[in-house]
Chain A
């Protein structure tokens, strides 16, 4: 009986050798580019699914009138030029903007692109029952009309100093009227064929879409630029995890591009040493920050827990004290967090608005250096000292004990552990907690664990804004946005930070024209918020991706879809 087993074993060994050696190394050819998105793409319609992965996947097919390039400069895409007040594209009263489409544009099915498609796109997204995820781009839009076949006029109900919401950037592309006409409103969800294979103007068309798995694209025969795209096929493969995606590009060479590599910096560096791929990063506007709860989250309060009261009666027992929040910020060594936890994925910041550079304030930069002694001295001077010898400081008899929550994610937990160490050293006892991201960022008003409910003293997450204008982002810190039971805990102001002077200055922002003047106000708002203890900013996050060394022409972009210029990608000879 032993012999056949041996024979089978030998046979298997030989077969193994054969299969292995005959196949040779993985082919990298000039026909196909393979991209890994470890979070798989669920849908190809960016209006229905607001996720970054869906927006990126759709950006190969669907295009807006104007895009942002990698320097955050707006460039015309399907439009002839960027409308401004100077060239007459924006009306003097700032109530409308008029776009002109390039001539001769064709959809991938060969039919012409007209202004009717733009009008339709607006109707599609703003019909309430569609459930459009990008409806915020159309805020204050009262009408979109086709002036002629190639001219689109967008009218606003209020003067818009920054009217580049509609049709600009990857979250607001044109969709084809003929294809989606029957998919407006309730019908939108059921239009699987359309949602999985939108017809677009971009360099590629969807050949096959497998939800949550792989998208296969082929070159668009009607693409407007002669000789582009270089690659005839694109394979966008999903699944797995970030680390194995990095390995497939940097070590095995099976793929050409891997997206969003949230991997420990040391691991990435050792993979890059194999020499076949390169790690790329671009700083985005995303800021990892610790929100400071201005209200009292004490469980003993019952329903009044973490509920903001206008008269300040439910204020946090110690976190609203300037000495406390300043000391907490000073005790943190942001350089260490950036180096050990984020690597290419982030740089220290002391601001709510860290990018684009024109909006970044320099008034808070002292936080870039850790000052533990200074922090201790600050608390000592304010009389916040350890009176009972348990190693924890007290303010008016209340010990400085903090519950610090965030979403479950290896990077965030490493970050939490570092901060806890510093705060414990400062004499502030810190308890850590992490919650599944789906629950933490979920909107279930019944769940005690959402970031909006904020049943903790401090919480950490990343927030950012679309495109380059931070107006909607600055709006989130207004008193009217305070999260609480009256808005089902869905208010954007999760810190419950309220300052009348901020609200006043913000109102001014929404009427100010001109980049410099706007940037000045944004900086002031930023300083009020950060210095007023709304948040402790930590890291200005960067997007990290990897590409094969043979792949050329990649210009990574944090202001638009990451794959925005795929038509220009080529393979080195």
Chain B
């Protein structure tokens, strides 16, 4: 197991380096311009000057090496310093990796955005798991029952109706007509006591509901089909004929086996949480990582886009490894060599 893990990690490093180069190169070749969105009243020579001060005109390799250095060495040190409060030698001269749009360190911006993304997308993902697995199990246990039909119907809605539409419907019902929940998310809100927790619950309700519907649809269908496969197996019949209770048969025998693919799906979906929900964040002004990425793309803020894309790539690689490890925990028959 230990050896397997080591091998996986060692393979991940060159993979990430290749990914970093590809991301950097593709984005660098894109025709977007950091000063493209400035008012036309700013003359061309001034724009050129701004581009120069941002370093947008440096040669490709210079930019790439600078980027690797800042991204893999300087910024991790900065983050460690920030978290632990210690200072490494040379922390004053270390150049920060700056966003073109805001002229501020990218890592600080990402850390600032993380809480709201985790609050909203994380909560939605958690709810989706809690809701989807029981729905999937019951649907599979009694296929084509009313419960299953309703579940299938809702899952189809969740699948096929885009979040920008459900989001809008929610706003019109709950904000415009009923005035129950705010449609604007207040990122400066701090949870300190019961009352402020309540406010937080109210403001995350709509984005969480929209996302939960979306995630639940995917997960519940997946659980249902995995369960259906297992419920028809011989070992289930054996378990029943041994006189085990239905509860035990379904949960201990069928569910446990069905969870193997579900766990993979869940683990591989976790990077999504960090990517934020691009559209849902935009609709409710949650302004988390998803919105950060969108504004960076629109503003031609290449360093920001490169940083976020690369971090997402790292997360995907890491959670792939984690999914592999979870396999072994769920199914002891799987051994690594």
A contact residues vs B (CB 8 Å cutoff)? 1-2, 5, 16, 19-26, 36, 40, 42-43, 45, 48-52, 128-136, 186, 188-190, 192, 195-196, 208, 210-214, 216, 235, 237-241, 244, 247-248, 251-252, 254-255, 274, 436-444, 446-447, 449, 452, 461-466, 487-488, 490-492
> What's the nearest-Cβ distance from chain A to residue B63, in Å?
15
In the complex with contacts A438-B32, A442-B31, A490-B45, A50-B38 CB distance below 8 A = yes
Q: Count residues on chain B whose CB falls below 8 Å from chain A CBs.
A: 73
Q: Within 8 Å CB of A452, what residues of B? A: 44
Top 3 closest A-B pairs, CB basis? Answer: A442-B33, A131-B53, A20-B180
Docked Cα-Cα span, A551 to B80, in Å, equals: 46
Residues on A with C-beta less than 8 A from B287 are 40, 210, 212-214, 238-239
B-chain residues with CB within 8 Å of residue A42 when the two chains form the complex: 101-102, 295, 299
A247 close to B188 (CB less than 8 A): no
Chain A residues with CB under 8 Å of B3's CB are: none
B184:A237 contact, CB within 8 angstroms: yes
Which residue of chain A is the closest to B184 with respect to CB atoms? A254
The verdict on A444 contacting B180 (CB below 8 Å), with A42-B102, A214-B187, A252-B175 known, is: no
Instruction: Please determine whether A464 and B103 come into contact, CB atoms closer than 8 angstroms.
Output: no
Q: How many A-B residue pairs have CB under 8 A?
A: 223
Residue-wise interface mask of B (92-121) relative to A, using a CB-CB cutoff of 8 A (1 in contact, 0 not)? 000110110111110011001100000000
- Tell me if A438 and B33 are in contact (CB < 8 A): yes
Q: Could you list 18 further interchain pairs (A-B, Cβ under 8 angstroms) beyond the known A19-B180, A252-B183?
A: A16-B205, A20-B202, A40-B291, A50-B46, A51-B38, A52-B39, A129-B53, A131-B49, A135-B49, A136-B46, A190-B95, A208-B188, A210-B112, A211-B99, A237-B184, A439-B36, A443-B36, A463-B41
**Contact in complex: B184, A255 (CB < 8 Å):** yes
Return the contact of B104 from the options A195, A274, A436 (Cβ within 8 A): A195
Q: Are B283 and A240 in contact (CB under 8 A)?
A: yes
Point out the residue from B32, B147, B186 that lies within 8 Å of A439, measured CB to CB. B32
Chain B residues closer than 8 Å to A241, beta-carbon distance: 282
Of A24, A195, A211, the most chain B CB neighbours within 10 A belong to: A211
Q: Contacts of A442 on B, CB cut-off 8 Å?
A: 31-33, 35-36, 300
Give A107 Cβ to nearest chain B Cβ, in Å. Answer: 22
Contact A189 B295 (CB under 8 A): no
Residues of B at the A interface (CB closer than 8 Å) are 31-33, 35-54, 95-96, 98-99, 101-105, 108-109, 112-113, 134, 137-138, 141, 147, 171, 174-176, 178-184, 186-188, 198-199, 201-202, 205, 281-287, 291-292, 295, 298-300
Task: Check A438 against B298 for contact (C-beta < 8 Å).
Answer: yes
Q: Does the CB pair A437–B183 fall under 8 Å? A: no
Contact B46 A135 (CB under 8 A): yes
Closest to A243 in B: B168
Among B138, B295, B299, point to the contact of A1 (Cβ < 8 A).
B138
Which of A25, A129, A190, A449 has most B Cβ within 10 Å? Answer: A190
User: Which residues of chain B have C-beta atoms less than 8 A from A211's C-beta?
Assistant: 99, 101-102, 104, 109, 112
Which residue in B52, B187, B284 is a CB contact (below 8 Å) of A210? B187
- Indicate if the CB atoms of B295 and A492 lie closer than 8 Å: no
Residues of B within 8 A of A439 (CB): 31-33, 36
Q: Considering only CB atoms, which chain B residue lies closest to A45 in the complex?
A: B103
Question: Does B53 contact A136, Cβ atoms closer than 8 Å?
Answer: no
B157 to chain A, nearest CB (A): 17
Q: How far is the CB of B177 from chain A (nearest CB, A)?
A: 9
Q: Which of A5, A21, A240 contacts B285 (CB 8 A)?
A: A240
Determine the distance from Cα of A466 to Cα of B40 in the docked complex, in whole angstroms: 10
User: With A237-B285, A437-B36, A491-B44 in contact, is A248–B184 under 8 Å at CB?
Assistant: yes
Residue of B nearest to A136 (CB): B43
Which residue of B has the minimal Cβ distance to A449?
B31
- What separation, in Å, do the CA atoms of A442 and B30 have in the docked complex? 11
Residues of A within 8 A of B176 (CB): 247, 251-252, 274
- On chain B, the residues within 8 Å of A213 by CB distance are 112-113, 187, 287, 291
Separation of A134 and B49 alpha carbons in the complex (Å): 11
In the complex, A475→B301 CA distance in Å? 31
- Using known A-B contacts A23-B202, A195-B103, A443-B51, determine if residue A2 contacts B44 with beta carbons closer than 8 Å: no
Contact of B174 among A20, A237, A487 (CB under 8 A): A20
Contacts of A128 in B (CB 8 A): 49
Closest to A251 in B: B176
A contact residues around B205 at 8 Å (CB)? 16, 19
Question: Which residue of B31, B39, B96 contacts A50 across the interface (Cβ within 8 Å)?
Answer: B39
Distance between A320 CB and nearest chain B CB, rounded to angstroms: 24
Contact A51 B39 (CB under 8 A): yes
Which residues of chain A are near B109, meaning CB under 8 Å?
211-212
Residues A43 and B103 in contact, CB atoms below 8 Å apart = yes
CB-defined contacts of B178 to chain A, threshold 8 Å = 20
Which of A36, A133, A247 lies at the interface centre, i.e. has the most chain B CB atoms within 10 A of its CB?
A133
Shortest Cβ distance from residue B46 to the other chain A in the assembled complex, whole angstroms: 5
What are 9 of the A-B contact pairs (CB < 8 Å)?
A21-B180, A50-B38, A50-B39, A213-B287, A239-B285, A247-B176, A442-B32, A443-B44, A491-B44
Note all chain A residues with C-beta closer than 8 A to B43.
136, 492
Q: How far is the CB of A166 from chain B (nearest CB, A)?
A: 15
Minimum CB distance partner of A212 in chain B: B295
Q: How far is the CA of A387 from the CA of B113 in the complex (A)?
A: 64
B50 to chain A minimum Cβ distance, whole angstroms, is 5
